[in-house]
Structure 1
Amino acid sequence: MQFTSRNVDDVESTWQQYVPSAALQKVDPQRFRFDWRSADLGSATLVRYDLAAQVHSTAEPRDQLLVCRVDSADAHVWSDGQTLDARLPWLTDGTQVQAQWHRSARVRAFVFDREAAQERARQFTGDDGIELRALGLAPRSAAAAAQWERMFHYLDAALGDETGDDRLLLSEFERHALMMTLSTFPTTLAESMRRPPQRSGAPMTVRRALSYIDENAHLPITVDDVAGASFISTRGLQYAFRRALDITPTDALRRARLDGARRDLQNGEGASVRAIARRWGFSHPSRFTAAYREAYGEAPSLTSDPARRVTPGEDSVRP
């Protein structure tokens, strides 16, 4: 969703669709301008908006994880008397956070459904008892915050109009956004990560995982889904794959999707290489081409158009 408005009520009503507790105070309607963009990833939403006005806002999310960055030259962010560094993102799972600026700001945020995020954290760690909670509002370090910012900019750019209903991409983007957020801020996930991974039944587990990947690579599954279908934690599955095959489950899933893209290219369905790549979860054309060339020894364009191949005795370059 993307729109521009000069109606003050549009801000609150739109923002409250994602964070019901969000509220604005002291908005100057004379200088008001609101440019909104959001993208639905399933159980998470990416939000970016520019708001030109004098604003005092509050957020106290319920049943959500909200990570937010207010980018403004005169921003002030605080919570219960604690001043937060306005140059960094902050995370809350219910603690009220307030922000204020006098001229304009760009707000960047991810809103995660807390129950879905907790289920993913349990699957990843293999700890069914973990209660996912934020243990602090501020990021672990400035470097971790910068990494989160790079992730946000990447996904914001990738989630353009072309993404459409690319379910494979969206599921990977959602997982990436959540895991990056949970690694940026102090949460109960970090404590579970310090425990040894589950390491049961590697050979049978790996065979079950490979079978699940082969049957479902065309669907928006993630490595967490593969682990769940194999009755093991994500970390345990990673260990099992390394021990048995010296690859990761992610490598196996990527190769299955490359195989799927290769079949579509060979079938000559008329779709472009870029469209087929996105259908199989590859958002970056040059990275897809590099991975495809490494796997099959030729560019995807040659698979889709065999006539472009150079036969012996022909010039090495064709027009």
Structure 2
Amino acid sequence: MTDATTSVHRHHVSTDDPDVAAAHQHGYAHFRYEPIARDGFAFDLTASFAGAFGVSRMRHTGRFRAQVEPPRRMIVVEVLEGGLWVTADGHDVAAHLMLAPHWSSHAAGWDTVALRLTTLDLEEVERVGAEISGLGPSEVLFGTMTPRSTALARYWTALVDHVDRALLAEDELMGTRLVRAETLRQLAAGVLTVFPNSTLDHRDVGGPDVVEPATVRRAIEFMEAHAHEDVSIAQVAEAARMGPRGLQAAFRRHRAQSPLDYLRRVRMDRAHQDLQLGDPTRGDTVGGIAARWGFANAGRFAVDYRRAYGYSPSETLRR
């Protein structure tokens, strides 16, 4: 089932007016900029947004220098052509992948550049960071613009490639609430993995020495009852009557997995049931059923499904 109220919003602008270009750039962050030469100037922006996240491509010719206020959202910047430099907290950074410093004002500039910008709701990133670390959302802090390693930088690029080309390009997928929620979570977890932040020292921490099995049962009952919804660790922990950190520890101890791993398996089982009951002659498809339960990547779903049940989802649907 799709949710038409949160379809992908797309827009494109192309102009030779620097002031018009600046007005569109102000949608990402407020800034004061030096006058831009109009001769030969060109600006092109293509953007796709699905609620709390989006991916944009921008090309800006000519010399640009600006003082930038902290962005209202988290923005990861990839340099596709040219070069970009940012000065924040006394540090100069010129990299092909960087996190725009949402924690401080900064200076930025380039001499003709093409960028890919991935935007995320900052509160959603903090929420995911709290879930995986046990910290409070206000304790999820970033302070470094560059990735932790070149391998992680490549991982981020591949992740955004998939979101941009395979997900945001498909209205039907993005119209499915669980797919949007899972995509947002993947991007938020990606930022938290790729860029240094306060959660990295608090993941996989132990919980209390003794956790009542009833706590885990309450969490399981809640996840099974709400598997069709966008469920957060905070909600599961509240239903279990304990904190997120204790819940993570309880599941590791009693189930040898995380709560989200368990929830994913519940959704896989529900998809399995729907495939068994599905009928291709009525229009049922593997991709549609997978998306219904939050599995946006049909290829990955097929691999995980075969690992779980010993045969492909298409074989189940045809039986």
- Do Structure 1 and Structure 2 share a fold, with TM-score over 0.5? yes
Residue 74 in 1 paired to residue 83 in 2? yes
- The answer to whether the 8 Å contact 2:78/2:117 transfers is yes
Residue 157 in 1 paired to residue 165 in 2? yes
In the alignment, which of 40, 49, 52 is matched to residue 50 of structure 2? Answer: 40
Question: For residue 6 of structure 2, what is the aligned residue in structure 1?
Answer: none
In the alignment, which of 75, 81, 92 is matched to residue 101 of structure 2? Answer: 92
Q: Distance in 2 between matches of 1:226 and 1:243?
A: 17
Residue 237 in 1 paired to residue 228 in 2? no
Q: Distance in 2 between matches of 1:67 and 1:198?
A: 37
Would the alpha carbon gap of residues 222 and 129 (structure 1) be closer, same or farther in structure 2, given more than 3 Å must change? closer
Q: Distance in 1 between matches of 2:20 and 2:267?
A: 42
Q: Distance in 2 between matches of 1:83 and 1:200?
A: 49
In the alignment, which of 126, 138, 143 is matched to residue 118 of structure 1? Answer: 126
Percentage of identical aligned residues:
27
Would the alpha carbon gap of residues 224 and 117 (structure 1) be closer, same or farther in structure 2, given more than 3 Å must change? same
In the alignment, which of 262, 266, 271 is matched to residue 261 of structure 1? Answer: 271
Would the alpha carbon gap of residues 20 and 75 (structure 1) be closer, same or farther in structure 2, given more than 3 Å must change? closer
Question: For residue 109 of structure 1, what is the aligned residue in structure 2?
Answer: 118
Greater RCO, CA 8 A, separation 6+? 2
Report the alpha carbon displacement of residue 177 of structure 1 after superposing the two structures with TM: 1.7
Q: Distance in 2 between matches of 1:231 and 1:23?
A: 49
Question: For residue 186 of structure 2, what is the aligned residue in structure 1?
Answer: 176
Structural mapping, 1:1-319, within 5 Å: 1-6=10-15, 8=17, 9-17=19-27, 19-22=28-31, 25-29=34-38, 30-42=40-52, 45-54=53-62, 55-61=64-70, 64-79=73-88, 81-113=90-122, 115-128=123-136, 130-162=138-170, 163-193=173-203, 196-197=206-207, 201-223=211-233, 225-265=235-275, 266-268=277-279, 270-306=283-319
Would the alpha carbon gap of residues 75 and 130 (structure 1) be closer, same or farther in structure 2, given more than 3 Å must change? closer
Kindly provide the amino acid, as one letter, of the partner of residue 165 in structure 1. G
Report the alpha carbon displacement of residue 202 of structure 1 after superposing the two structures with TM: 4.8
Deviations 1:249-307 (A, max 9, x none): 2332122112222333214352321111112111222221222233333322233222x
Q: Distance in 1 between matches of 2:162 and 2:245?
A: 25
Could you tell me which runs of 5 or more consecutive residues in structure 1 were left unpaired when the two chains were aligned: 307-319
Q: Distance in 2 between matches of 1:278 and 1:194?
A: 29
Report the alpha carbon displacement of residue 208 of structure 1 after superposing the two structures with TM: 1.3
Would the alpha carbon gap of residues 301 and 103 (structure 1) be closer, same or farther in structure 2, given more than 3 Å must change? same
Between the two proteins, the alignment pairs up a number of residues equal to: 302
- The answer to whether the 8 Å contact 1:52/1:104 transfers is yes
Question: SS at 1:72's partner residue?
Answer: strand
Could you tell me which runs of 5 or more consecutive residues in structure 2 were left unpaired when the two chains were aligned: 1-9
- The answer to whether the 8 Å contact 1:199/1:237 transfers is no
Q: How high is the TM-score relative to the length of structure 1?
A: 0.80
Q: Distance in 2 between matches of 1:28 and 1:227?
A: 56
Kindly provide the amino acid, as one letter, of the partner of residue 83 in structure 1. D
Q: Distance in 1 between matches of 2:292 and 2:24?
A: 31
Q: How high is the TM-score relative to the length of structure 2?
A: 0.80
Would the alpha carbon gap of residues 135 and 120 (structure 1) be closer, same or farther in structure 2, given more than 3 Å must change? same
Would the alpha carbon gap of residues 13 and 216 (structure 1) be closer, same or farther in structure 2, given more than 3 Å must change? farther
Question: For residue 309 of structure 1, what is the aligned residue in structure 2?
Answer: none
Deviations 1:135-158 (A, max 9, x none): 333333434333333332232233
Deviations 1:187-238 (A, max 9, x none): 3333544864456525122211211111111112244543443244445333
Question: SS at 2:139's partner residue?
Answer: coil
Q: Distance in 1 between matches of 2:226 and 2:189?
A: 22
Q: Distance in 1 between matches of 2:263 and 2:60?
A: 44
Q: Distance in 1 between matches of 2:158 and 2:234?
A: 23
Q: Distance in 2 between matches of 1:144 and 1:286?
A: 22
Q: Distance in 2 between matches of 1:194 and 1:242?
A: 9
Q: Which range is displaced more, 188-197 or 153-162?
A: 188-197
Kindly provide the amino acid, as one letter, of the partner of residue 307 in structure 2. E
Q: Distance in 1 between matches of 2:112 and 2:93?
A: 19
Kindly provide the amino acid, as one letter, of the partner of residue 156 in structure 1. D
